[in-house]
Amino acid sequence: MQNIGFFSPQIMHIPDGFLSVVVSALFWLTSLIILYFAVKNTQKRLNDRLVPLMGVMAAAIFAGQMLNFTVIGGTSGHLLGAALATIILGPWPAVVVMTSVVSIQALIFQDGGVLALGANLFNMAVVGVFVSYAVYRFFITILKKVKYSNAIAGFLAAWASIFIASLSCALQLTLSGTSPANIVIPAMAGIHALIGLGEGMITVGAILFIQSVRKDLLIAETARSGDQKVIIVGGLIISAILAILSPLASSHPDGLEWVAEKSGFMSSAKDAFYSIIPDYSLPGVQNENLATISAGIIGLLLVFLISFGWARLKKPSKKDMISEG
């Protein structure tokens, strides 16, 4: 059967060719240094609550990013998820989770270049996380007596994470000589200001849902462990549903691709030098919808196992925690 009326997820991240080697190397180094500190700080905070949540958040963000939504002007956006991960996990674990998602997207699905991976990590796993953390904490503090303060702060944090990450990408393109600042910065800012609205609404929806079923998950310092099997199974079911819906993703180009086409540097993009599951379509599966869904299921399982498995291995033993205490 041929694909009828469905679309595949769009390639979403900076491909190789858009950035110079020097800029790519600079952001690889910067991202690795920050990731090192993220890992060290996450290890100190691992507990029975955080271990399953890291795996579930990674799976949900991966699946959610496959669902591009249409934005006015013939473009599309997709969930970044940095704000939601930060609100639930805290900034350092969120960096680790976002790193696992973005890395799997690049290395397995050829979404974003390998050379450009450091820049993509910086934009999404560093800028996206720490901007959303700063904005969320600021508005939670000043709105603490306001009803639905979590939702309001979450919306603003999510919007800011998209907007500032897009400016970071624009700066990288300018430093690489790919596009002049007076062209690429306004273009990236304008389209991502709109995409950020979608990110904000998705984040608010997730916050309100979590608040209705497990409000404690939104309070990192005092959250109880709860039933971890419920968190894992429930989170994976939601992630699988998102993956199943992935063929419905918008066919319009995402914000970066739209800007690249309008600004005339789309031809600079280079294909990956290898192929595993390109374009989120599992090779050998004839039905396009099934190929996309299969790829999504594989991806969410990979990021879940990496994030959950890493956290499980690094979780300090009771003996270690007693000795530290």
Q: What percent of the chain has pLDDT over 90?
A: 47
Cross-strand partners of 76: 70, 254
Mean pLDDT of 28-32: 97
Q: Which residue has better confidence, 228 or 26? A: 26
d(CA 98, CA 85): 8
Rg of the chain over Cα atoms, rounded to whole angstroms, equals: 19
Mean pLDDT of 78-96: 92
* 11 belongs to a structural domain: no
Which residues neighbour 316 within 8 Å (Cβ) at sequence distance 6 or greater? Answer: 43, 46, 324
pLDDT score for 100: 95
* 4 belongs to a structural domain: no
Nearest to 95 by CA among 138, 135, 39: 39
Q: Which residue has better confidence, 313 or 119? A: 119
Q: Are 87 and 154 in contact (CB under 8 A)?
A: yes
* 45-89-302 Cα angle (round to 5): 100
Q: What percent of the chain has pLDDT over 70?
A: 84
d(CA 63, CA 19): 27
* 309 belongs to a structural domain: yes
CATH of the domain at 52: 1.10.1760.20
Q: Are 31 and 129 in contact (CB under 8 A)?
A: no
In this predicted model, what pLDDT tens digit does every residue of 178-233 receive, in sequence order? 999 999 999 999 989 998 998 999 899 988 888 777 776 765 544 444 556 666 77
Mean pLDDT taken over the chain: 84
* 41 belongs to a structural domain: no
pLDDT score for 227: 55
* 25 belongs to a structural domain: yes
pTM (predicted TM-score): 0.87
In this predicted model, what pLDDT tens digit does every residue of 253-286 receive, in sequence order? 788 888 888 888 888 889 888 889 988 889 988 8
First to last CA, the chain: 62
* 215 belongs to a structural domain: yes
Q: Is the pLDDT of residue 319 over 80?
A: no
For the stretch 206-222, what's the b/e string if a residue is b when 16 or more beta carbons lie within 10 angstroms of its beta carbon? Answer: bbeebbeebeebeebee
* 139 belongs to a structural domain: yes
* 27 belongs to a structural domain: yes
In this predicted model, what pLDDT tens digit does every residue of 141-175 receive, in sequence order? 999 888 888 999 999 999 999 999 999 999 999 99
**Residue-range definition of the domain harbouring residue 205:** 21-35+47-324
Cross-strand partners of 7: 248
Q: In total, how many domains does the chain have?
A: 1
Which helix H or strand E contains 76, and what residues bound it?
strand 75-77
Phi, psi of 208 (to 5 degrees): -65, -35
